[in-house]
Amino acid sequence: MHEHSHGHHHDDHDHDHEGSELSPMALRVRALESILVEKGYVDPAALDVLIETYETKIGPRNGARVVAKAWADEEYRAWLRTDATAAIHSLGFTGRQGEHMVAVENTAEEHNLVVCTLCSCYPWPVLGLPPVWYKSAPYRSRAVIDPRGVLADFGVTLPAATRIRVWDSTAETRYLVIPMRPAGTEGWDEEALARLVTRDSMIGTGLARTLEELRP
C-alpha cells in the first residue's frame, strides 16, 4: 500500500509491488510493436491516435446506458447505488476490469472524480478502453493533489462550495460516476438521455451535455 497524506477517500490498493506481469498476448503485442517502431513501420503517436479514436467512440455507450437508466428509473438508481456490480451486469455489461463496480453520484454539494494513481485500472465493460490521458502520469498524480486544477484543464469549473471527492481505483474496485442530470430533460426516455452522457462525465472530468450543447 502506498501512502497519501491527502484527505481524499482512499481504498487499500491491491497492487503488487514485487514486479509487474504482462499477459502472453500483451507481451506479443509489445514485442511486435517495439520491432515495428524500431524499423520505422509504425509511429507510436499515430497508434495512440487510432486507439484514442476507437476508445472514445466505442465503450462509453455502455456506461451511458447505465447512467440514463439511473436518471429515468428511480428503482434502478437505488440498485445502482447499493450494488452497482449487479445493476450493471443486469444490462449485460460484464467482463474483465468491471467485476466489482461502485457507482458514485454527483450532486450540487459533491462532485466525484475517478483516477488510478498507480496504473490505469478502469471499468472497461462500461467505459471501453481508458483514454490516453487517464493512463498518463500527470493525470494520475494531479487528480489527487489538485483535482480542481485538473477539472479546469478539462474546462470544468464547479461552484466553490462543491466538494470534490477523488476515488482511487484499485485492481478490485472500479468506479462509475453518475453525473448530474441536465436541467430541462424531464420526461425524456432513456435513449434520449443517454446521448447527454459523455465518457468524461462518467470519469468525473466532465459534466453531462446540456441541452444547448446537444443542439447542432
Residues lying near another protein in the complex (CB under 8 A) are found at 15-23, 25-36, 39, 41-43, 46-47, 50-51, 53-55, 57-59, 61, 95-96, 118-119, 124, 128-130
Nearer to another protein, 104 or 196 (CB): 196
Per the structure block, which three cell numbers stand in for 18? Answer: 514485487
CA 23 centroid distance within chain: 23
- Report in angstroms how near the CB of residue 108 gets to another protein at its nearest: 33
Residue 120 annotated as part of some ligand binding site: yes
Q: How many angstroms from the chain centroid is the CA of residue 193?
A: 19
Q: Residue 41 or 75: which CB sits closer to another protein?
A: 41
116 in catalytic set = yes
Count other C-beta atoms under 10 Å from residue 70's C-beta: 26
Q: Please check whether residue 144 is in contact with residue 4, taking contact to mean a CB–CB distance below 8 angstroms.
A: yes
121 has catalytic annotation: yes
Q: How far is CA 86 from CA 76, 79, 176, in A?
A: 11, 8, 13
Other Cβ atoms within 10 Å of 66 Cβ, number: 27
> Is the Cβ of residue 5 or residue 23 nearer to another protein in the bound state?
23
Which residues are part of the catalytic machinery?
Answer: 116, 119-121
Query: Which residues are annotated as part of the binding site?
Result: 116, 119-121
Query: Which residues are annotated as part of the binding site for Fe(3+)?
Result: 116, 119-121
